[in-house]
Structure 1
Amino acid sequence: MHIAILFAALTAASTAVGGFVALRTRDRLHLILGLAAGLMLGLVGFDLIPTVYSSDHTQIGHVPVVALMMVGGFLALHLIERASAPHEPQHSDYEDGHVHTLDGGIATGVAMVGHVFLDGVGIGAAFRVSSTLGVAVFIALLVHAFNDGLNTVAFLVRSSRWTSRSKRLLAVDFLSRISGAAVGSYWIVSTTFISLYLALFAGFVTYIATSHILPEAHAKHPSRWTLVMTVLGVVVMWGVVAGGA
Structure 2
Amino acid sequence: MATVMAVSLLAGLATVGGALITLLWGGAAKRVLAWMLGLAAGAMLGVAGLDLLPSAWRLGGPWHLATGLVSGLGLVWLIGRRLEAGEKGDRLARVGYLVAAGIALHDLPEGIAIAAGYAAAPTLGWVIAVAIGFHNIPEGMAMAAPMLLGGQRAGRILSTAWLVSLVTPLGAGLGFLLVGISAHFIAYLLALAGGAMLYIALWELWPQGRREGSSLALRGGLAGLLLVLLLTLLE
What TM-score, normalized by structure 1, do the two folds share?
0.68
Shift of 1:3: 3.5
For the structure 1 residues 149 and 51, does the alpha-carbon distance in structure 2 shift closer, same or farther, using more than 3 Å as the test?
Answer: closer
For the structure 1 residues 126 and 26, does the alpha-carbon distance in structure 2 shift closer, same or farther, using more than 3 Å as the test?
Answer: farther
Q: Show the counterpart of 2:77.
A: 78
Shift of 1:75: 1.2
Q: Show the counterpart of 1:146.
A: 141
Amino acid at match of 1:212: E
| Contact 1:18–1:150 (8 Å) recurs in 2 | yes
1:91 aligns with 2:88: yes
What TM-score, normalized by structure 2, do the two folds share?
0.71
Measured against aligned partners, the alpha-carbon deviations of 1:212-236 in whole angstroms (never above 9, x if no partner) come to: 221222223141x432442343344
Shift of 1:155: 3.0
| Contact 2:71–2:192 (8 Å) recurs in 1 | yes
Q: Show the counterpart of 1:96.
A: none
Measured against aligned partners, the alpha-carbon deviations of 1:174-212 in whole angstroms (never above 9, x if no partner) come to: 1x2232011122213413322211111111111111112
Aligned length: 217
1:65 aligns with 2:64: yes
Measured against aligned partners, the alpha-carbon deviations of 1:80-114 in whole angstroms (never above 9, x if no partner) come to: 1112238xx8325xxxxxx8598x9xxxxx97975
Measured against aligned partners, the alpha-carbon deviations of 1:42-77 in whole angstroms (never above 9, x if no partner) come to: 2222222221111114xxxxx602211111101110
> Within 5 A, what are the aligned runs for 1:1-245?
2-19=6-23, 25-57=29-61, 64-85=63-84, 90-91=87-88, 117-121=104-108, 123-125=110-112, 127=114, 128=116, 138-156=133-151, 167-168=155-156, 170-174=158-162, 176-188=163-175, 189=178, 190=181, 191-223=183-215, 225-244=216-235
| Contact 2:11–2:129 (8 Å) recurs in 1 | no
Q: Distance in 1 between matches of 2:128 and 2:43?
A: 13
Amino acid at match of 2:164: R
Give percent identity, aligned residues only: 20
| Contact 1:31–1:226 (8 Å) recurs in 2 | yes
Higher helix share: 2
Q: Distance in 1 between matches of 2:142 and 2:31?
A: 12
Amino acid at match of 2:143: D
- What runs of 5+ residues in structure 2 fail to find an aligned partner? 118-123
| Contact 1:126–1:198 (8 Å) recurs in 2 | no
